[in-house]
């Protein structure tokens, strides 16, 4: 994935943060810009509002002021102790022995240098974030092609949340905002252990944001990158969890439309959480429009053929396809269709037969391979009709049985590929014997009978004509 949207970076910079309030360079901060975060350090809170902490009178730099606020806000140093430090800094300036707040805090054992470094990292990662009323932005969690996600503390409920801030150009489009609100409401109607809960949508300084459940863990994408392949059983378990999330969403009329490894988060205890439900729908429309216009966007490795074709009635099968592509990537270590450009990848989704996943990873069972192939059927008719059927098949395979709903698609080109691969790998016949009708002796006998009858008829015809 190569997120390459330029221009949004600057749009998130605080509009209401005058330059003179930004900190001076300081030897402690390589970037020379620790505090910048009007957003990271909530000026509306009690911390930092005492007279002793106002810049210029504190005896310290603006940097010290911001650092002081951050420490008080995080409860690392109490307000009285901080005020006392700032008074001491003033005194030392008057005595011509200037000291930085950092030095004084360490001298008095009020913080450790680790805590100070941590605050610097957090401040740097949030330095251009806007303020959001009611939340204290702590640090950047990640960045996708179109938005940035921050860890924040919801002050009223004292809980950690994740906030996705959309770029400015999204926020300027009235049509988009209307959809954003509508989708936000539909996302909020969902409640499922395997779905990242939507808490709030809002707007600040003309930027739209989405507050959601914070997932303390990694994404399936991170796991694939770290381990190349996910073992079959673990992958089946994760896919099953996401399938139950889809069943819940689809039953309520919500289609995700952007299922991919980056949108599946994993908690430390192994619970899969599907992210961006509702929101992804708008993103995927836009991403597609942008890629059609030739602009750079993440490569569409997991998109369904019907979305590529621009069909308007995109439904649950599109999510099953995306989950199938994710499943394929997890167990084979490769995306289903690889190519240089986005349009080549999309063409392959539409026309190229799938290399069966067990050809790339012969260790996976025939049942799992068949499930993945059915999820990735190009034609909706050949795909799982719904997540329920998919879950049943996963359960059968987990129990060591054959799947019930998975059917190999009748695709001449795919059969040709399979026959070729079979010649290369004799094991395939044994493990996937049911897939190939010619591997069945009864079918072979029938074909031989048919051939003999055709030859017989031809001979008779020739005899009749020769008379």
Ligand X SMILES: Nc1ncnc2c1ncn2[C@@H]1O[C@H](COP(=O)(O)OP(=O)(O)OP(=O)(O)O)[C@@H](O)[C@H]1O
Q: Any idea which residues carry the catalytic annotation? A: 258
Q: Which does 215 bind (CB under 5 to 8 A by kind): ligand X, Mg ion, none?
A: ligand X
CB of 3 to ligand X, least distance (A): 6
Q: Among candidates 225, 431, 432, which has minimal Cα distance to 330? A: 225
Is 333 a binder of ligand X (CB under 6 A)?
no
Q: Which does 298 bind (CB under 5 to 8 A by kind): Mg ion, ligand X, none?
A: ligand X
Per DSSP, the three-state class of 40 is coil
Q: What mask of x and - would describe binding to ligand X in positions 289 to 328, judged by CB under 6 A?
A: ---------x------------------------------
Q: Which span (31-39, 262-270, 305-313, 377-385) binds ligand X, by CB under 6 A?
A: 262-270
Q: Which span (10-18, 171-179, 207-215, 306-314) binds ligand X, by CB under 6 A?
A: 207-215
* Total of residues contacting ligand X (CB under 6 A): 23
Exactly one of 149, 190, 371, 375 binds ligand X (CB under 6 A); which one? 149
Read off φ and ψ for residue 255, nearest 5 degrees. Answer: -110, 135
Alpha carbons within 13 A on the beta-carbon side of 255: 19
The 8-class DSSP code of residue 352 comes to S
CB of 118 to ligand X, least distance (A): 18
Q: With respect to ligand X, which residue has the nearer C-beta, 65 or 128?
A: 128
CB of 212 to ligand X, least distance (A): 5
Residue 421 tokens read as 């691969």
Residue 48 tokens read as 């930092």
Residues written for the chain: 467
Query: What's the 3-state SS for 135-162?
Result: EEEEEEEEECCCCEEEEEEECCCCEEEE
Contact indicator for 349, 378 with CB cutoff of 8 Å: yes
Exactly one of 145, 187, 198, 318 binds ligand X (CB under 6 A); which one? 145
Is 196 a binder of ligand X (CB under 6 A)?
yes
Q: With respect to ligand X, which residue has the nearer C-beta, 112 or 143?
A: 143
Contact indicator for 250, 204 with CB cutoff of 8 Å: no
CB of 278 to Mg ion, least distance (A): 12
Q: Which conformational region is residue 202 in: left (phi greater than 0), alpha (psi within -120 to 50 degrees), or beta?
A: beta
Contact indicator for 57, 45 with CB cutoff of 8 Å: no
Exactly one of 64, 124, 232, 276 binds Mg ion (CB under 5 A); which one? 276
Q: With respect to ligand X, which residue has the nearer C-beta, 144 or 437?
A: 144
Exactly one of 1, 296, 355, 360 binds ligand X (CB under 6 A); which one? 1
> What long-range pairs does 307-314 form, CB within 8 A, spacing at least 24?
307/257, 308/346, 308/349, 308/350, 309/350, 314/255, 314/257
Q: Which does 418 bind (CB under 5 to 8 A by kind): Mg ion, ligand X, none?
A: none
Can you name the residues that pair with 160 across neighbouring β-strands?
Answer: 153
Residue for token pair 């060591």: 400
Is 187 a binder of ligand X (CB under 6 A)?
no
Site for Mg ion, rule CB under 5 A: 263, 275-276
Site for ligand X, rule CB under 6 A: 1, 141-147, 149, 162, 164, 196, 212-215, 219, 262-263, 265, 275-276, 298
């Amino acid at each position: 994935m190569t997120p390459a949207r330029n221009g949004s970076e600057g749009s998130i910079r605080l509009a209401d943060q005058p330059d003179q309030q930004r900190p001076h360079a300081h030897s402690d901060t390589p970037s020379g810009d620790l505090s910048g975060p009007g957003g990271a350090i909530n000026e509306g809170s009690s911390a930092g509002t005492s007279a002793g902490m106002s810049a210029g009178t504190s005896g310290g730099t603006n940097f010290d002021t911001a650092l002081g606020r951050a420490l008080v806000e995080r409860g690392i140093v109490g307000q009285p102790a901080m005020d006392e430090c700032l008074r001491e800094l003033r005194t030392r300036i008057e005595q011509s022995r200037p000291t930085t707040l950092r030095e004084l805090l360490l001298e008095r054992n009020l913080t450790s240098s680790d805590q100070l470094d941590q605050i610097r990292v957090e401040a740097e990662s949030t330095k251009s974030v806007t303020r959001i009323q009611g939340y204290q932005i702590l640090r950047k969690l990640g960045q996708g092609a179109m938005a940035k996600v921050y860890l924040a503390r919801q002050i009223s409920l004292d809980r950690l949340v994740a906030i996705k801030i959309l770029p400015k150009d999204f926020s300027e489009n009235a049509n988009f905002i209307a959809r954003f609100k509508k989708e936000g409401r539909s996302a909020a109607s969902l409640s499922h252990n395997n779905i990242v809960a939507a808490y709030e949508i809002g707007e600040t300084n003309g930027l739209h944001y989405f507050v959601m459940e914070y997932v303390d863990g990694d994404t399936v994408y991170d796991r694939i990158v770290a381990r190349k392949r996910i073992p079959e059983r673990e992958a089946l378990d994760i896919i099953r969890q996401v399938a139950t999330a889809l069943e819940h969403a689809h039953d309520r009329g919500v289609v995700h439309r952007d299922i991919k490894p980056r949108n599946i988060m994993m908690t430390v205890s192994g619970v899969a959480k599907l992210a961006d439900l509702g929101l992804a729908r708008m993103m995927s429309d836009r991403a597609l429009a942008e890629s059609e216009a030739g602009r750079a966007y993440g490569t569409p490795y997991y998109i369904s053929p019907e979305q590529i074709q621009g069909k308007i009635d995109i439904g649950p099968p599109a999510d099953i396809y995306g989950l199938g592509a994710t499943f394929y990537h997890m167990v084979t270590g490769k995306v289903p269709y690889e190519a240089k450009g986005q349009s080549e990848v999309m063409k392959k989704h539409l026309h190229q037969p799938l290399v069966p996943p067990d050809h790339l990873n012969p260790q996976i069972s025939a049942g799992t391979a068949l499930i993945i192939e059915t999820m990735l059927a190009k034609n909706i008719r050949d795909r799982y009709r719904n997540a329920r059927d998919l879950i049943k098949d996963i359960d059968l395979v987990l129990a060591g049985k054959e799947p019930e709903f998975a059917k190999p698609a009748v695709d001449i080109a795919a059969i040709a590929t399979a026959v070729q691969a079979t010649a290369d790998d004799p094991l395939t016949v044994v493990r996937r014997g049911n897939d190939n009708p010619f591997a069945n002796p009864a079918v072979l006998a029938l074909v031989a009978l048919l051939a003999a009858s055709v030859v017989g008829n031809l001979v008779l015809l020739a005899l009749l004509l020769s008379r």
